[in-house]
Chains A and B, each alone.
Chain A
Amino acid sequence: DGGITQSPKYLFRKEGQNVTLSCEQNLNHDAMYWYRQDPGQGLRLIYYSQIVNDFQKGDIAEGYSVSREKKESFPLTVTSAQKNPTAFYLCASSIIAGGADTQYFGPGTRLTVL
């Protein structure tokens, strides 16, 4: 089955630690995205990538880093510089990046900082 997988589903981190969230897609999509969701708020874009080896900052990139070494994979690292990292993180992909794209979402990762 084609789709987007995110792992782990739940993640706990101690303050001061970096942590990496995994996102894999087998839809052959060029574009991939990371969003953050907080209670009472909509999704906010962290980073997006239009093509392998290229990525752009979204609205709230501070304290996060990404890589796009393979078309299928777009991992997100939450660094210790992120002051309030507890949130729900959603990965998405689309055929191409741009206004007309329909984004397909993964099941999400819930990150909790202890």
Chain B
Amino acid sequence: AQTVTQSQPEMSVQEAETVTLSCTYDTSESDYYLFWYKQPPSRQMILVIRQEAYKQQNATENRFSVNFQKAAKSFSLKISDSQLGDAAMYFCRYTSGTYKYIFGTGTRLKVLA
């Protein structure tokens, strides 16, 4: 069965600095998709970035980028120039074509002024 692991329950970063959140997963499938979602205190889930497993190029969205290591089954999120508004829970999600939607347990990110 597929699993998603976020080993960092909580992280802190100084404003304007860079932080990396880790996510590892286990699967025997070759075709799948990976996502990072942000959940601010309002609790609404917001898509941050997505990565298709068949693409070797790492996805980037403004200050957010991923380091996708398919062989290592690792999908980390890098946030550059951290802002106070980045403080939230971050969830990694694995999805495959067989309607599997698996979320990690989340990492709480604190941004220090």
Query: By DSSP majority rule, is chain A's interface helix, strand, loop, or mixed?
Result: loop
Known interface pairs A40-B105, A42-B104, A99-B32. Does A105 touch B99 (Cβ–Cβ under 8 Å)?
Answer: no
Known interface pairs A40-B105, A42-B103, A100-B33. Does A105 touch B95 (Cβ–Cβ under 8 Å)?
Answer: no
CB within 8 Å of A: which of B30-56? 31-33, 35, 37, 42-47, 50, 52
Chain B, interface residues (CB within 8 Å), range: 20 to 34
Query: What are the residues of chain B within 8 A of A33 when measuring CB–CB?
Result: 101
Q: Are B97 and A98 in contact (CB under 8 A)?
A: yes
Query: CA of A44 to CA of B47 in the docked complex: distance in angstroms?
Result: 17
Q: Are B42 and A43 in contact (CB under 8 A)?
A: no
Known interface pairs A42-B4, A98-B99, A102-B50. Does A108 touch B105 (Cβ–Cβ under 8 Å)?
Answer: no
- Interface flag for B83 (CB, 8 Å): no
Query: CA of A106 to CA of B45 in the docked complex: distance in angstroms?
Result: 8
For A41, give its contact among B43, B46, B105 (CB under 8 Å): B105
Task: Across the interface, name the chain A residue whose C-beta is closest to B37.
Answer: A105
- Interface flag for B91 (CB, 8 Å): yes
For A45, give its contact among B31, B45, B97, B101 (CB under 8 Å): B101
User: What is the interface of chain A, defined by CB distance below 8 A to chain B?
Assistant: 33, 40-45, 48, 56, 58, 88, 90, 92, 97-108
Pairs of residues from A and B, 9 with the lowest C-beta to C-beta distance, nearest first: A42-B103, A105-B45, A99-B97, A43-B103, A107-B44, A99-B96, A99-B95, A42-B105, A108-B43
